[in-house]
Structure 1
Amino acid sequence: MVVCEFRQPQQYYLITKTKMAHNLLYYNISVLVSRQIVTGCCLGALILGTLLGNSLVCAAVGKFRHLRSKVTNFFVISLAVSDLLVALLVMPWKAVAEVAGFWPFGAFCSAWVACDIMCSTASILNLCVISVDRYWAIASPFRYERKMTRRVAFAMIGMAWTLALFISFVPVQLSWHKTSVVTWPNSSTDQHIWYRCDSSLNPLYAIASSLVSFYIPVVIMIVTYTHIYLIAQRQIRHISSLERAAENKETKVLKTLSIIMGVFVCCWLPFFVLNCMVPFCSSGAGLLCVSRTTFEVFVWFGWANSALNPIIYAFNADFRRAFISLLGLKSPLPMALFTCL
């Protein structure tokens, strides 16, 4: 009788423990699947939004002649093409890998890394070119009308794309961008390298590419937009006879420029800061490194800029009317939150 009393609680304990383990496993699987579904839906919505916005810009310029007649719109279409390529060549493959939990496309990784660097850099350089174009248009409007021809615009666009191509495919194809050993802080050691697709940048390439792709362009954009605001401020105060009206216009210009720079910096700055830090994490430099998940989140933050660019740069009155016509809308769209200078 004593033996039975001893075994019965033990068996009950083992059965209960097994059920708890099964329930915990089921819960973990359910949470993982739910997380993958939510991740897939969010990334899919971002990709579709990027495709739709930039496709509308390209279609509008292609269909309406008056949009093609303005030289400044060539810079906008170049930006839209670069952002469209981000949505076609970069985002979908990474989204599948994020949901699957591994890189399922094998040797395509190298080509994908090159496309990622090229398209992202081209998008940022196009933003820089747009800022320079707008500065010239406001600082010297008469000279701008004479000098800014289609040939000059195409030359500026060509330089941006050539530079993006040069710092992406050339180093990647020659393996100049890679580290000798693929490592990552907090990564599990049993993961095989071919199940992941990491850029694995060496410190020299990480810093050099970040300078060309972000830090130099963002400095140029800050300088040009600061000068644009100062010039616009002087012109508004000179033209406007009512002080309050002048203040309102200055505030509107400041808000527009703040949105342009704020969105760009918020999207890309965290990634490029980490992009320069991560290569030093495994070298004993004593830096405070981040997890892979944190890094990947900020990668998507950068790509999200491609979805926001059409809203910021192509929602002036001409483009809004073109979008209304393309979408077959009869009632006018509400005024956009952003106006182009």
Structure 2
Amino acid sequence: MSNSVNVTYSSVLNTSAVDKGQLPTSAIITMTLQLLSMVAIIIGNILVLVAILKFRSLQDITGIFVANLALADLIIGVTQPFQVAFFLFPEMERNKIACILRFEIILFACNASIYSLVCTVVDRFVAIAYPLRYPNIMTRKIAFGLVLGIWIFDFCCAFIPFSENDFEKSPFCLYELVMNKYFRLWNHTCGIIFALVMFLIYVKIYLIVKKHMRQIQIEATVYTDDPTVRRTKQTNTVVAIVVLFFHISWLPFFIIELTMLEVSQVTQNKVLVANFLVFLGVMNSIVNPIVYAWKNKQYRRAFQKLLGLKIHNDEMSTVQSIA
């Protein structure tokens, strides 16, 4: 084991101080941020799930994938206390199952988010590219089947690290040392490939929408005020922003991890950056409900109604239509 790895561990986690019962300032700050993020993630994503369950107009095909994405984000939120426990009980790092779970929970939820986003993007592409055939292609049965497939596949993949890992050879519980390098290579490469696929699909969606809008303006401008056209545009915008934020949050982590597949490549600076990028990815679970409220009037009015907030009279019909 290289000296750089040992220095990384002691400087990042400061376990000697923890063992003496003295939490370093960095650990206290990290724990505080994790607990605050937990509250924000849980409140925001429960609000999304309740809104979809309560208001029928949000229960479309896209709503099914949005709910699945919110569920994946919720998993990250409710498991934050488990992450915090490693600071308070350093002996957990010497437990193989606990150590692997520490990383696998994040990967499990992150992968579920990626698969949900891919399904959402494909759903938007079919809706835009084949509007007349869309109801027959993307049915509720197919949507629920995809959601079920996401979780089955994710669960199967989640068991791999428990049988294929390097825990016995690792002097401490560090992601880059404990998790099998081939599993990390496969996981992060797939994340980058899926990100690229979503980007290319959305470029195609943008070109199709641009062409449609040009045709509408030429043929009949009155149709630009059609509620269906407005809602489709809002949905496409929301999904695009959610995908963009996900890429910003997780792509850098995937990329830097590919530079630490070998133990000799693990350095203090890389681990520090990777730790920050993981926290950035966790913050992404807070962003989605904010995007829904910011860019989608249906979700915004649903949130206002659930929270008992005042709604303007000129928008009351929008709320009533989703009740």
TM-score, reference length from structure 1: 0.71
Q: Give the superposed CA RMSD.
A: 3.4
Deviations 1:211-238 (A, max 9, x none): 33x1221122011111110011101111
Matched residue type, 1:208: W
Equivalent residues in 2 for 1:1-341 (5 A)? 34-68=25-59, 70-89=60-79, 91-97=80-86, 100=88, 102=90, 104=92, 106=95, 107-169=97-159, 171-174=160-163, 176-178=164-166, 181-182=169-170, 193=172, 196=173, 198=175, 200-212=178-190, 214-241=191-218, 259-282=241-264, 290-313=269-292, 316-332=296-312
Which of structures 1 and 2 has the larger relative contact order (alpha carbons within 8 angstroms, sep 6+)?
2
> One-letter code of the match for 1:278?
M
What is the letter of the counterpart of residue 45 of structure 1? L
With over 3 angstroms needed to count, the CA separation of the structure-2 counterparts of 1:321 and 1:80, relative to structure 1, is same
The alpha-carbon distance between structure 1 residues 37 and 110, as it changes in their structure 2 partners (threshold 3 A), is closer
Whole-Å separation in 2 of the counterparts to 1:61 and 1:261: 20
State how far apart, in whole Å, the 2-side matches of 1:111 and 1:235 are: 48
Please identify runs of 4+ aligned residues in structure 1 that moved more than 6 A: 251-258, 286-289
In structure 2, what is the equivalent of residue 26 of structure 1?
A: none
Report if the CA contact (8 A) 2:76-2:285 is conserved. Answer: yes
Amino acid at match of 1:269: L
Greater per-residue helix proportion? 2
Q: Is the 8 A contact 1:50 1:84 kept in 2?
A: yes
SS at match of 2:126: helix
When residues 59 and 287 of structure 1 are mapped into structure 2, their CA distance, relative to the original with a 3 A threshold, is closer
**1:254, 1:143 → 2: CA distance?**
18
- What are the Cα deviations for residues 105-159 of structure 1, in whole angstroms up to 9, with x where unaligned? 7442333433222111101111111111111111101111122211100111122
Q: What SS does the corresponding residue of 1:240 show, helix, strand or coil?
A: helix
Q: Which residue of the partner structure matches residue 14 of structure 1?
A: none
Cα distance in structure 2, aligned partners of 1:326 and 1:252: 21
**Identical aligned pairs, as a percentage?**
28
Task: Name 1:13's counterpart in structure 2.
Answer: none
Contact 1:201 1:279 in 2 (8 A): no
CA distance in 1, matches of 2:117, 2:168: 34
Secondary structure at 1:290 match in 2: helix
Instruction: Describe the SS at the equivalent of 1:142.
Output: coil
Encode CA deviations 1:167-225: one digit per residue, 9 max, x unaligned. 212x1231x1436622xxxxxxxxx63xx36362232111112233x122112201111
Cα pair distance change 1:262/1:66, threshold 3 Å? closer
Cα gap change, 1:179 to 1:277, in 2 (>3 Å): farther
CA distance 1:67–1:234, change in 2 (3 Å) = same
Please say if residues 60 and 323 of structure 1, whose CA atoms lie closer than 8 Å, have aligned partners that are also in contact: yes
Task: Provide the rounded CA distance (Å) in 2 between the counterparts of 1:151 and 1:259.
Answer: 27
Counterpart of 2:251 in structure 1: which amino acid?
Answer: L
Q: 1:328 to 1:256 in 2, by over 3 A?
A: closer
Give the equivalent residue in structure 2 for 1:4.
Answer: none
For the pair shown, the structure with the greater C-alpha radius of gyration is: 1
Residue type of the partner of 1:319? Y
Contact in 1 for aligned 2:121/2:239 (Cα 8 Å): no
Q: Distance in 2 between matches of 1:127 and 1:156?
A: 12
- Unaligned segments of structure 2, at least 5 residues: 1-21, 225-229, 316-323
Q: How many residues align?
A: 280
The answer to whether the 8 A contact 2:246-2:284 is kept is: yes
Q: Deviations over 1:84-105 (max 9, x none)?
A: 011112x3322343x5494647
Q: Is the 8 A contact 2:304 2:310 kept in 1?
A: yes
1:109 aligned partner, one-letter code: C
Q: Residue type matched to 1:154 in 2? A: F
